[in-house]
Amino acid sequence: MQHEMAPLLRQSVYSCLAGYEDTNDAVRLARDPALQAVVGRHALEKQAASANTLSRFETEVLVTEDNLRGLGQLNAEWVDHAIARTQPHRIILDMDSSESPVYGEQEGATYNGHFECICYHTLFCFNQFGDCEGAVLRPGNAHSVLHPSVNALVACV
C-alpha cells in the first residue's frame, strides 16, 4: 500500500504527541481508529503506515535538506496565516526561557544551577496570540537575562 507524504507526516507527529516516540508501536497503532482518523481517508479504508514505512519516512525522507528547511518554515507560515486573518493594532512579543534537560553528552548542554540539571536554556518568543514566533537553543549555562541571543531570536521573527 502506498502512503502519501501528508498522512505519513500526520502519523509521525500524532504518534509522538500520543507518547509513541519511536516506530516500534506503528504496527499496533496502524489499526487504531483514532490514529486512522487523524492520518486520513486511506488509513480509514485499510490502515495507517507500517513500522517499516514510517521508519523509512522519518529516517530517509524527512531528513533531506529541502524537507528540513520546509519543516523549519511551517511554524512561521502558520503564524503568518493566523495574523493575516486578524486586525492587530499592535504586536506584543513575550520572550521566555525554559530548560530542555538532556541525557548524555550533547554539545552545548551544561549544568544549570537554577534548574539543577544538565540542559539547554532555550529562549522562546511568543506573540500576543500565544504563537511561537521563534526559538534559540542556548547553552545550559546561559543566564536568564536577555542578551545577545535576543538579537538572534528577533532576527528569526
pLDDT digits (tens, 9 = 90+) for 88-98: 677 788 888 88
Q: Do residues 105 and 118 lie in contact, with contact meaning Cβ atoms separated by under 8 Å?
A: no
Distances (CA, A) of 92 to 109, 126, 128, 131, 151: 30, 8, 5, 11, 16
DSSP, collapsed to helix, strand or coil, labels residue 98 as strand
Give the CA diameter of the chain.
53
Percentage with pLDDT > 70 across the chain: 87
| Positions in the chain short of pLDDT 70 | 1, 41-46, 88, 145-157
Q: Provide the grid cell at 14.
A: 500524532
